[in-house]
Amino acid sequence: MADFGKVKKVVLAYSGGLDTSVILKWLQDNYGCEVITFTADIGQGEELAPARRKARAMGVRQIFVEDLREEFVRDFVFPMFRANALYEGEYLLGTSIARPLIAKHLVEIARRTGADAISHGATGKGNDQVRFELGAYALMPNVRVIAPWREWDLLSRDKLLQYADQHGIPVDYKKRKGGAPYSMDANLLHISYEGGILEDPAFEPEDSMWRITVSPQKAPARPEHIELTYERGDIVAINAKRLTPAKALTELNRLGGRHGIGRLDLVENRYVGMKSRGCYETPGGTIMLKAHRAMESITLDREVLALKDDLMPRYARMIYNGYWFSPERVLLQQLIDSSQHSVNGTVRLKLYKGTVLVTSRASRTDSLFDPLISTFDDDRGAYNQADAAGFIKLNALRLRIAANLRKKRR
């Protein structure tokens, strides 16, 4: 039985969709509190004015609609890509990285308005409940969190629709007719698809599901070349045109989507313990990862690269599991950011039918690539090949000792 303890004000992460509209009314009815709505524009590609109008029609007096696209890319996406983060070797963490930003602003609005609680629409089975709440507790340790999906009995779409009808909550026609046969979540980094017909990991989704990438088969027959300029590990220009972080990612999404880049279909391990099948479109992020690794390949020391690669899976798990504001992630970010001081230069890429190929990388000030030493032609004494004999023998010493021991035992 839910404990509807006394709450004066609650800040709700509100999209204006079926779930959060029902939650808004449910909070008003069951907690008897004032509900403040917060709607974040993180590049989901939807108009936010309808959410504002809907909240106002439901009696909400304090409505916050904020454009967070630049903050999202500058302070969350770019730092993550400095680490080359991939969860379980494939997932570019598009949903995961958006949640701490939303949690941060939920808490900020709660402080500004004197609210004593926050609320979200994440279910009790997913990762997002963990990400929202770990973020909120890290920033406002005594905040009360209300998660209706863990309290109410409206555990199906039909029950949500019935509740909406009973309380006069307007429902989008498509939602009433069933809408898409899966759920979607979008932001400037990606679109995710899960649930519904995708719950069968053997089901191949129809090509019409994908929203921002063309099929590689239908992509242009001619490749497109682009050049990215990096400063301290971040993209600052595309084809020599300087762009803000959000505009750079928007342009990379357009370019990647046009060439069928960035589709992913995988079964992942949720933090709560179950496996989940998800499909993702991350065109700009796919290009960013390839280009960033290319830029690092000529500007970072071998062992620094190896250390980053060793730490990357752990860093990715921190983000996936909701520990963006944890001391260990912050400490690791400082190490990663320090490594990026020399990651400056340009990378040229060829985009073609779902693939990203690095064709050029250069750094005028920070390249560690020495052509005189690397050449297979005459290096004029820059490298003494005879030195390799001692190097190999020393590295083989333990192997030779073990081999001699085995020989004695025979």
Q: Is 128 a catalytic residue?
A: yes
Contact indicator for 76, 281 with CB cutoff of 8 Å: no
Token reading at 276 = 């989940």
For residue 225, the surrounding DSSP H or E stretch is: strand 224-231
The CA-CA-CA angle for residues 51, 55, 61, to 5°, reads 135
Active-site hit among 53, 56, 176, 183: 183
Are β-strands 275-281 and 191-194 bridged in parallel, bridged antiparallel, or unpaired?
Answer: antiparallel
Active-site hit among 52, 69, 82, 99: 99
Other CB atoms closer than 10 Å to residue 293's CB: what's the count?
A: 18
Q: Identify which of 285, 282, 301, 294 has the alpha carbon closest to the alpha carbon of residue 227.
A: 294
Q: Is 99 a catalytic residue?
A: yes
Longest distance between any two alpha carbons in the chain, whole Å:
88
Contact indicator for 110, 118 with CB cutoff of 8 Å: yes
Say which residue the tokens 């069951």 belong to: 30
The 3-state DSSP class for residue 170 equals coil
In terms of C-beta density within 10 A (0-12 exposed, 13-18 middle, 19 or more buried), how is residue 93 classed? buried
Contact indicator for 111, 1 with CB cutoff of 8 Å: no
Token reading at 152 = 């109410």
Contact indicator for 255, 228 with CB cutoff of 8 Å: no
Active-site hit among 69, 82, 128, 361: 128
- CA dist 297 and 304 (Å) reads 11
Q: Is 183 a catalytic residue?
A: yes
The 3-state DSSP class for residue 365 equals coil
Active-site hit among 19, 69, 192, 361: 19
Q: Is 3 a catalytic residue?
A: no
The 3-state DSSP class for residue 387 equals helix
Q: How many residues does the chain have?
A: 410
Indicate which residues carry an active-site annotation.
Answer: 19, 99, 128, 183
